[in-house]
C-alpha cells in the first residue's frame, strides 16, 4: 500500500497536468492519491477520470492558504465535495486576492528596475487568477534576473525579502468550516516547515483543535523517522488523525518528496484514510 495525500499539478504551481500526476503516481506504485492544488479544485475531475483508468483510489483535495496570527500556513482539505458553494466561494476569494498581491509584488519589482512581472507571471499560469510566487520566480528566471528559483525567493519573493508583500489569506476557522461544509477533513499541511517555536506550535495546534480541525501531516515532503515519531506524538497528544503527503510539485523541487510514495506512519497514528473507506 502506497499512499500520497498531498501533491500539485499545473492547476496551481506544479509542473505536470492532473492526468500526468496520476499516471506518474501510479507508475511509482501509488494505490491511494489525493491531488491538493493551492486554492483551486479545477484539476480534480481530470485526475479522477485518469485514476479510474489506472485503478488508483483517488481522493478529492485542496490546499488552502490561511493567515494565522500574522503567518501564512496551509490547510489541506481531503475528501471534499467539489460542488460545495461555501468552499468554492472561499477559494474564489482567495484567487481574487492573488491577483491583487501580484500587482503589489510587481510594483515593488518595477521599483527595482524589473518590469513586466504582472503580465509575464500571468502568462506562465494555467489560470490567470491562480498565479503563485513560483510563477513570478519563473518569470524572473526566464528574463535573466536570477539564475534559479531558490535565488528568486532568497532575493525578492521570500517572506520579508525585498519584494515580498504581507497578504491576508483566509481565516483558520472559516477554512475548517468550509472544508467541513464540503464533507471533508481539515489537515494542517507540513507543520514541520513553519519554523515555529514550541510555544507557537502549541498555539497553532490548540487553535486548530478549537476550530474543529481533524488531522496533521505527520509526514510531508522529506521527513526522517525522528520527525515522524515527533509529530506522531503531537498528533496523539492533541487527538488529531495523521496524514502523509509528498507535496510533490516537480522533480527535484524545494521541499517535495517523490510523487506517490510516503514512508509508513508510526503505529500510534490514526490514519485519515481509515475514514475514506
**Contact criterion met (CB below 8 Å) for 63 and 90:** no
Q: How far is the CB of 8 from ligand AMP (least distance, A)?
A: 7
* The C-alpha cell that represents 35 in the structure block: 491531488
Among 22, 40, 64, 74, binds Mn ion (CB under 5 A): 74
* The C-alpha cell that represents 249 in the structure block: 510539485
Q: Which residues, 6 or more positions from 183, have their beta carbon under 8 angstroms from its beta carbon?
A: 79, 80, 81, 84
Site string for Mn ion, 35-64 (x = CB under 5 A): ----------------------------x-
Q: Is 100 or 268 the residue whose CB approaches ligand AMP more closely?
A: 100
Please give the residues from 230 up to 249 whose contact with Mn ion meets the rule CB under 5 A.
247
Q: In what order do the strands lie in the sheet with 57-68?
A: 3-4, 32-35, 57-68, 71-78, 185-188, 215-220, 241-245
Which residues contact ligand AMP by CB under 6 A?
A: 13, 38, 65, 132-134, 149-150, 153, 158, 249, 254
Q: Is 14 exposed, middle or buried (0-12, 13-18, 19+ CB in 10 A)?
A: buried
* The C-alpha cell that represents 129 in the structure block: 487568477
Q: Is 38 or 180 the residue whose CB approaches ligand AMP more closely?
A: 38
Which of ligand AMP, Mn ion, none interacts with 65 (beta carbon under 5 to 8 A by kind)? Answer: ligand AMP
Q: With binding defined as CB under 5 A, does residue 13 bind Mn ion?
A: yes
Q: Is 110 or 158 the residue whose CB approaches Mn ion more closely?
A: 158
Which of Mn ion, ligand AMP, none interacts with 153 (beta carbon under 5 to 8 A by kind)? Answer: ligand AMP
Amino acid at each position: 500500500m502506497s499512499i500520497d495525500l498531498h501533491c500539485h499539478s499545473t492547476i496551481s504551481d506544479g509542473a505536470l497536468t492532473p492526468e500526468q500526476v496520476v499516471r506518474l503516481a501510479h507508475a511509482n506504485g501509488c494505490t491511494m492519491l489525493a491531488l491538493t492544488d493551492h486554492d483551486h479544485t479545477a484539476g480534480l475531475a481530470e485526475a479522477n477520470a485518469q485514476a479510474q483508468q489506472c485503478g488508483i483510489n483517488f481522493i478529492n483535495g485542496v490546499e488552502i492558504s490561511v493567515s494565522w496570527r500574522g503567518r501564512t500556513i496551509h490547510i489541506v482539505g481531503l475528501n471534499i465535495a467539489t460542488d460545495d458553494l461555501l468552499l468554492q466561494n472561499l477559494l474564489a476569494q482567495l484567487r481574487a486576492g492573488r491577483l491583487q498581491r501580484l500587482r503589489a509584488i510587481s510594483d515593488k519589482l518595477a521599483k527595482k528596475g524589473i518590469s513586466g512581472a504582472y503580465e509575464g507571471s500571468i502568462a506562465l499560469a494555467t489560470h490567470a487568477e491562480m498565479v503563485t510566487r513560483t510563477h513570478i520566480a519563473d518569470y524572473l528566471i526566464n528574463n535573466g534576473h536570477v539564475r534559479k528559483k531558490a535565488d528568486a525567493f532568497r532575493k525578492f519573493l521570500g517572506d520579508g525579502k525585498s519584494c515580498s508583500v504581507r497578504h491576508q489569506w483566509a481565516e483558520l476557522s472559516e477554512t475548517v468550516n468550509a472544508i467541513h461544509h464540503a464533507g471533508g477533513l481539515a489537515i494542517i499541511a507540513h507543520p514541520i516547515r513553519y519554523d515555529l517555536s514550541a510555544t507557537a506550535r502549541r498555539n497553532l495546534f490548540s487553535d486548530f483543535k478549537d476550530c474543529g480541525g481533524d488531522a496533521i501531516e505527520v509526514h510531508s515532503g522529506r521527513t526522517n523517522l525522528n520527525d515522524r515519531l515527533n509529530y506522531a506524538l503531537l498528533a496523539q497528544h492533541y487527538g488529531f488523525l495523521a496524514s502523509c503527503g509528498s507535496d510533490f510539485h516537480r522533480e527535484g523541487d524545494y521541499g517535495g518528496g517523490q510523487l506517490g510514495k510516503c514512508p509508513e506512519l508510526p503505529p500510534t497514528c490514526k490514519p485519515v484514510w481509515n475514514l475514506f473507506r
